[in-house]
Copies of this chain bind each other. A is one copy, B any other.
Amino acid sequence: MKLGRLNHIGVATPSIEESLRYYRDVMGATLTHEPFDLEEQGVKVCFVDTPGQEGTHGTQIELIEPLGESSTLTGFLAKNPAGGQHHLCYEVEDIEEARNWFEGLGKRILGPTRIGAHGTPIFFLHPKDMMGQLTEIMETPKDDSHWSN
């Protein structure tokens, strides 16, 4: 296992619309994406780009809002009504290899490997096995189309 890019920070919100206004009007974000539904995971998703070093792309903010009443976010927002930091997502080159790695270490994986918000395979690891951090592992996208420019 080799530490990959911090692809995004998942931030739960009761309202993507309100969060987008916040990121644009308060934090000065200019590169925001269109929201879309990720029904399989029960969330509405919207990415905000942050700049990287020397003109590269940085770590994204992934805004996630509950989609439907059975959303996995419902409990999180009950505890944190204003929203807040929800998970960290690291990239790997090969998702199967990564899954085997974490399984071999006895880390609890939350459900099957599935297609994530950037169209590549992902899985989540239990925060109790990851020093309190809900951790998403995602295969690196093959192109740059998930960024705004």
Contacts and interface: CB of A to CB of B under 8 A. Distances in A.
A132 B5 contact: no
A37 to B, nearest CB: 21
A66 B48 CA distance: 32
B4 A90 contact: no
Interface stretch (A24-32, A38-46, A109-117): A24-32
A27 to B, nearest CB: 5
Given A131-B83, A133-B85, A27 B52 contact: no
A87 to B, nearest CB: 8
A128 B82 CA distance: 7
Interface of A: 1-6, 9, 11-13, 18-19, 22-23, 26-30, 48, 50-54, 56-59, 61, 80-85, 88, 90, 102, 105, 107, 127-128, 130-133
B11 A23 contact: no
Contacts of A12: 132
Contacts of A53: 5, 52, 56-58
A136 to B, nearest CB: 12
